[in-house]
Amino acid sequence: MSYLLRVLLCTALLHGSLSVLAQSAVQVKQGKISVSSSIPIQTRVVYHAADLPFKLDLSGISVSQRREILSNAHRAMKNVGPIRIVVKPGRITFLPIKILQSAVDKIGTSNGDQKKSEKLGHLYDGKGRRVYESRLVTIADFHTHSLASDGTQMPTEVVAKAHQDSVGILSLSEHDNVYSYGEAAAEAEKLGVLQIPGAELSAEQDHIHVLGPFVDPNHPDVVANTERVRVAREVRVRKILEKLKQGNIHLDFEDVLAEYKYPNVLPILGRSHVADALVTNGYAQNKEKGFAILRKPEFAVPMEGIPTLEEVLKIIKSAGGLTFIAHPNYLEKAFGGRWTTELERYIQEFGPKGKALLDGLEGFRRNYKQGHRKHYQEMAKLYELLLSVGSDFHGDMMHPYIGGVAIPIRYLREIAERAPGPWREPMRDKLREALRGKPFYLLP
């Protein structure tokens, strides 16, 4: 079996499209998972994972069934992480594992083996000990947006979707505002979702955004920054409209203002609303093509009059929040191939070993390459950083999914231990739910 096919098999096993399990019985014992094709499993499989060696015995699976696994691999998620695979006769060994730790709702009635189903919720190391710290979970999403910034859904709808998709820890991190928190928190309380206050604040240099989970939405520094950046954003939009007119694209400021749908607040406008206006007024077929117009050099306008990175970090810290650089790979837009070097420079200056203003990076995200994730984890270890997880959900075609991004639970536990007092125990409770095997599904 080629290396590519082995990786495809591994990702297919992690994903919920594992159709071969619909016809198989699965057993776990001391780190060994054996699969036989004699007993049916009647329901969906839920996945967790751990960083330890284990063996998957494929001796009972036919060639056609293996092909069926591979045919589903194209739907597998891309955030599995680096995997080394050793193939031996009749079995495959994954070192380290970022793979199947499954809990099956119900095993075929011919066995009636509910105890076996419960046992599948855990993976064991070579000495028979349960392993928790490296289990992958998809219960948290610290990076989402609603209509209060440039999303497409009301905050209550975002919370409802998070609940539907088994996201138990959620932060609405609007661009440069905290408008949505109160409404979202009320809905989250009804549904049992832990809604953490947050924001995604813009910094003046190098396309940097900073996520601020646990920030106090009523803190004077946060409120003042919202107004400061609101004005800067409006000025930028007006400049963009002037440049568009020079290119024979005629939009009024009111056309853009009409695209901001969140009621009863002063609008926080951005290029997203200009792109929407381009679609509404017939200049673009869809939002993505609207953004393509705005990316042209002749229409580019930098954001001016907003805080520096250091100021942003201080605003969040003063308001009790943690600080994470969002989507660090976006630095590539400013620095090209040097972006990792520049990111490390910021970490050295502002991280725990520098000015102690930067707590971490958004280390797990749906569209990261494996090299990104590995690099962020290496830097987290070297510079004592936290790693967060986020989908950047907007509700549109460009960012359609909420949650569904797997992260080793140890990183969430580290965030919980650093969270402000009122949030620490509620977050611990959600992590305990995950460790008890409560189903949290990976999305396609």
163 and 18 share a domain?
no
16 and 45 share a domain?
yes
Q: How many of the other CB atoms lie within 10 Å of CB of 353?
A: 13
* Domain limit, last residue, from 73, 103, 134: 134
Domain limits at 401?
A: 140-231+305-435
175 and 117 share a domain?
no
Q: Tell me whether strands 360-365 and 324-325 are parallel, antiparallel or unpaired.
A: parallel
151 and 83 share a domain?
no
Asked if residue 187 belongs to a domain, the reply is yes
Asked if residue 252 belongs to a domain, the reply is no
202 and 327 share a domain?
yes
* Domain limit, last residue, from 79, 103, 134: 134
Identify the band that residue 335 occupies on the pLDDT scale cut at 50, 70 and 90.
Answer: confident
Residue 273: partners with Cβ closer than 8 Å, 6 or more residues away? 150, 237, 256, 257, 259, 260, 267
93 and 34 share a domain?
yes
Model confidence pLDDT, tens digit, residues 156-165: 999 999 999 8
Model confidence pLDDT, tens digit, residues 355-365: 999 999 999 98
Angle among Cα 147, 151, 153 to the nearest 5 degrees reads: 60
Residue 116 has pLDDT above 60, yes or no: no
Asked if residue 120 belongs to a domain, the reply is yes
**Whole-angstrom Cα distance, residue 260 to residue 270?**
9
Contact assessment for residue 363 and residue 329, using Cβ atoms and an 8 Å cutoff: no
Asked if residue 145 belongs to a domain, the reply is yes
Contact assessment for residue 104 and residue 117, using Cβ atoms and an 8 Å cutoff: yes
227 and 183 share a domain?
yes
Mean pLDDT of the chain: 75
What does the DSSP 8-state code read for residue 41? B
Model confidence pLDDT, tens digit, residues 207-244: 799 999 999 999 999 999 999 999 999 999 999 999 99
Asked if residue 353 belongs to a domain, the reply is yes
Contact assessment for residue 443 and residue 139, using Cβ atoms and an 8 Å cutoff: no
Q: How many domains does the chain have?
A: 2
* Domain limit, last residue, from 85, 115, 134: 134
Q: 0.75 exceeded by the pTM? A: no
197 and 318 share a domain?
yes
Q: Which two tokens stand for residue 147?
A: 């209509």
Query: What residues pair up with 92 in beta bridges, in sequence order?
Result: 56, 87
Asked if residue 243 belongs to a domain, the reply is no
The distance from CA 57 to its chain's CA centroid, rounded to whole angstroms, is: 32
* SS3 state of residue 307: coil
Torsion of CA 315, 317, 322, 325, to 10 degrees: 50
Asked if residue 271 belongs to a domain, the reply is no
Q: Which two tokens stand for residue 7?
A: 């990786």
Torsion of CA 402, 408, 412, 413, to 10 degrees: 150
Q: What is the CATH number of the domain that holds 409?
A: 3.20.20.140
Asked if residue 297 belongs to a domain, the reply is no
318 and 398 share a domain?
yes
Residue 170: partners with Cβ closer than 8 Å, 6 or more residues away? 140, 141, 144, 158, 159, 162, 184, 188, 193, 194, 195, 196
